[in-house]
Amino acid sequence: MKPLQPPDSLHVQAAQGWCELHAFAEADTELDKIDASLRAHPKVIEVRWQRLRQGGRK
């Protein structure tokens, strides 16, 4: 699969950063900004899984 391009790649990076800070609502906001057609991208799924693992359900 192709790498994500900006702005979606930037939203993923921001979500990762928010997860590291345990700011899960902010991580969710960034993940929700990703284009719907790209939400099944492995990197997006990885970050969403990280968010759920660390902070529970949305």
Q: Enumerate the domain spans of the chain.
A: 8-55
The mean pLDDT of 22-28, rounded to a whole number, is 95
Burial 25-46 (b: 16+ CB within 10 A, else e): eebbebbeebeeebeebebbee
pLDDT digits (tens, 9 = 90+) for 31-57: 999 999 999 999 999 999 999 998 776
Give me the chain's average pLDDT, please: 94
Q: Would you state the pLDDT for residue 58? A: 59
